[in-house]
Amino acid sequence: MDEQKKPVSKKVKKFYIMLGMLLLLLIPIAFMSGVIRDRESYRNEAVRNVKISWADEQTITAPSLTLNIPGKKEITQKKLELNNYEAEVKVKTEIRKKGIFKVPVYTADVELKGDFLNDYGNIKNINTVFEFGVTDSKGFTTRPAIKLLNSEFVKINSTKYPKTLTTNAKNIPFEIKYQLRGINKIYVSPGGLNNEIEIEGDWKDPGFDGNFLPSEKEITKDGFEAEWEIPAIAVSSIGRPAAGVSFLTPVDNYRMATRAVKYSFLFLSLTFLAYFIFEITSSGKNSVHQFQYLMMGGAMLIFYLLLISVSEFRTFTGAYIAAALMTVGLISLYTYFVITKRNNLKFTILITLIMLFLYVFLYVLLAMQDLSMLIGSLALFVIMSLVMYSTRKVEWNSDSD
């Protein structure tokens, strides 16, 4: 006759129930991720609306000078090489609000100057086209003023300036001045044999973007200054080279919240594990109902809603602290008054400390992105060691304590 199977102990049954509650909570976790994506899309829509009425991100392209040389049958175009190229950009930023969202915009005073190498020789009454550009020409707030060769400044209504030149000079100097609006970022594209770019502004937390880092920079409480020196050989292998500054907020709360949600299942598991160990190791008959597990899991998931909603009005750190304290306080009170029925203050204090540690641990993981893998692995090793130590005397095949 077959041996009769041993009945599954209550401890193992309770573990299966706890695991089922965790799997059930995967549904609201997916919902949280969708809420964050929706809020981020609303923010992006607000940015797009500001772009429509203001201007887009701007890239200032290097100017060019083209000679239209008449021939017997057709006109030949010859583009002169840009030699020395200097760009000076002074940025003044401001915040535009669209609903509850804040979008950084700027107005920049741009001055470009340099010279072209005249390898053609004697230029006599040749029609030329001087051309420059920006990403979004809607951002011009003034008519560009251009000075080519030894002429006076001329204001134009286009990014192309036709002029008849006569010169035998080896270098043809130029200078451009205009005011430009934009949003979030401003770049300068180097195009000369020698490029010197200088950008300064009043934004306190600039990000230096593009293909090149500044050779010199200074950031103070009043703003920043940055300089780039870029030779032609450095840009020869880059399709669209650019160097510049971004004025985006230092912490993207939606990106941080998305990363936080990725740890939500782990945090639920560790919290539920703490209550499970409390059940199977306590001397009294303490039992946590499966519905109570769901209640605590729901409270922990509301943390992410609080985090994203408060961070839209406050800094991410402030929102994180507020949401974490509210969540820990709620679960601690629920543990003391409902689960332990005021009979085990020590466990309530213990679970409060555990949850505070978990939220501090999560913030460290979010803040230290480069070291998050190492820190997380070491912390999980310590946690697993504590779990193994706490359950060392548990008889899993027995229903006795």
pLDDT confidence of residue 53: 87
Question: In which band, very low, low, confident or very high, does the pLDDT at 387 lie, cut at 50, 70 and 90?
Answer: confident
Quick: pLDDT tens for 297-341: 999 999 999 999 898 888 888 999 999 999 999 999 999 998 888
Question: In which band, very low, low, confident or very high, does the pLDDT at 90 lie, cut at 50, 70 and 90?
Answer: very high
CATH (residue range 56-246) = 2.60.40
Winning range, highest mean pLDDT, from 35-39, 89-93, 233-237, 240-244: 89-93
128, with CB counted inside 10 A (0-12, 13-18, 19+), is: buried
DSSP-assigned letters across all residues of 114-136: EEEE--S--EEEEEEEEEEEES-
Q: What is the distance, to the nearest Å, from the Cα of residue 90 to the centroid of all Cα atoms in its chain?
A: 24
Domain boundaries, the chain: 10-41+253-390, 56-246
What pTM was estimated for this model as a whole? 0.73
Nearest residue to 216 (alpha-carbon basis) of 235, 199, 236, 234: 199
**Average pLDDT score over residue span 59-85:** 92
Average pLDDT, the chain: 87
